[in-house]
Amino acid sequence: GAVVSQHPSWVICKSGTSVKIECRSLDFQATTMFWYRQFPKQSLMLMATSNEGSKATYEQGVEKDKFLINHASLTLSTLTVTSAHPEDSSFYICSARDSGTDSYSGANVLTFGAGSRLTVL
Amino acid sequence: DAKTTQPPSMDCAEGRAANLPCNHSTISGNEYVYWYRQIHSQGPQYIIHGLKNNETNEMASLIITEDRKSSTLILPHATLRDTAVYYCIVRPNYGGATNKLIFGTGTLLAVQP
């Protein structure tokens, strides 16, 4: 089945530094990937839609200069948290849909990565 | 996306069927019902989806009412590993940038030994 890999699975950094999280579709191509953030005991919040070869689309209230997204290939999207602060500490999760899947066959399913836990000191 | 309503938590005895309800009274004709679950500290996992007919796969069954205003996810023989937050989501079944999933608060299913 479809697999999405995230790296790193956890990271600790100092306040003011930048952190990059990678999201890879291992056995399929994904023209669109999605980035979510999840705080403890809360649901997933969609941050942005990552589009291969074009600019990401950010949800309302998400700072695009703070959370840089690059989708340079059909299998890789990266999220960079710039000038991280303690309030950015969270669980970041990406997801992707197989571009080769016929959406009308009922296979409009998103595959999620295992998540990346960021702790900013 | 249509809004869904789920109970915040449920308990189920190990080996028994777990029936998780979901209300989606404002669902429109082109929207499917999707179920995902999230085990603690992991990414969500797809379970099943359907439009109006009942569906079954190796993980679960999905029962959708005739008026499509509500549905029930059934785990036929719950195990301790099924303890997770279960999310019911309605969305159109087509691809593209609008293919995003918006998560509600879900139901925390606790399977008891």
Contact residues for A10 (Cβ-Cβ < 8 A; gap 6+): A116, A117, A118, A119
**Does residue A105 surpass a pLDDT of 60?**
no
| Percent of chain B surpassing pLDDT 90 | 80
Q: What does the pLDDT look like over A63-95, one tens digit per residue? A: 999 999 999 899 999 999 999 999 999 999 999
Contact residues for B47 (Cβ-Cβ < 8 A; gap 6+): B35, B36, B37, B57, B59, B60, B73, B86
**Does residue A11 surpass a pLDDT of 80?**
yes
Verify whether the Cβ–Cβ distance A110 to B101 is below 8 Å.
Answer: yes
Name residue B110's amino acid.
Answer: A
Verify whether the Cβ–Cβ distance A57 to B97 is below 8 Å.
Answer: yes
Which residue do the tokens 């942005």 mark?
A48
Verify whether the Cβ–Cβ distance B99 to A46 is below 8 Å.
Answer: no
When pLDDT is averaged across residues A31-59 and rounded to a whole number, the result is 93
Between chain A and chain B, the number of residue pairs with CB atoms below 8 A apart is 68
Burial class (CB in 10 A: 0-12, 13-18, 19+), B107: buried
Q: Please name the member of A45, A49, A112 whose beta carbon is closest to the beta carbon of B43.
A: A112
Of the listed ranges B20-24, B37-41, B98-102, the least confidently predicted one is B98-102
Q: What does the pLDDT look like over B81-109, one tens digit per residue? A: 999 999 999 987 665 545 678 899 999 99
Q: What is the pLDDT of residue A42?
A: 93
CB B43 within 8 A of CB B34: no
Dihedral pair phi/psi, residue A3, rounded to 5°: -130, 135
| Percent of chain A surpassing pLDDT 90 | 76
When pLDDT is averaged across residues B22-41 and rounded to a whole number, the result is 93
Q: What is the pLDDT of residue B33?
A: 93
Verify whether the Cβ–Cβ distance B101 to A91 is below 8 Å.
Answer: no
Verify whether the Cβ–Cβ distance A43 to B105 is below 8 Å.
Answer: yes
Q: What are the CA-CA distances from residue B109 to residues B9, B73, B102 (Å)?
A: 6, 12, 20
Question: Taking Cα atoms as reference points, which of A65, A54, A21 lies closest to residue B96?
Answer: A54
What is the average pLDDT value for chain B, to the nearest integer?
A: 92
Q: Please name the member of A45, A93, A103 whose beta carbon is closest to the beta carbon of B43.
A: A93
Q: What is the pLDDT of residue A106?
A: 46
Verify whether the Cβ–Cβ distance A32 to B46 is below 8 Å.
Answer: no
Nearest-neighbour CA in chain A from B78: distance (Å): 23
Among B46, B48, B54, which would you mutate to test the A interface (most chain A Cβ atoms within 10 Å of its Cβ)? B46
Verify whether the Cβ–Cβ distance A108 to B94 is below 8 Å.
Answer: yes
**Does residue B17 surpass a pLDDT of 90?**
yes
Q: Which tokens in the block code for residue A77?
A: 């999207």
CB B74 within 8 A of CB B17: yes
Q: Name the interface residues of B facing A (CB cutoff 8 Å).
A: 32, 34, 38, 41-46, 49, 85, 87, 93-97, 99-106
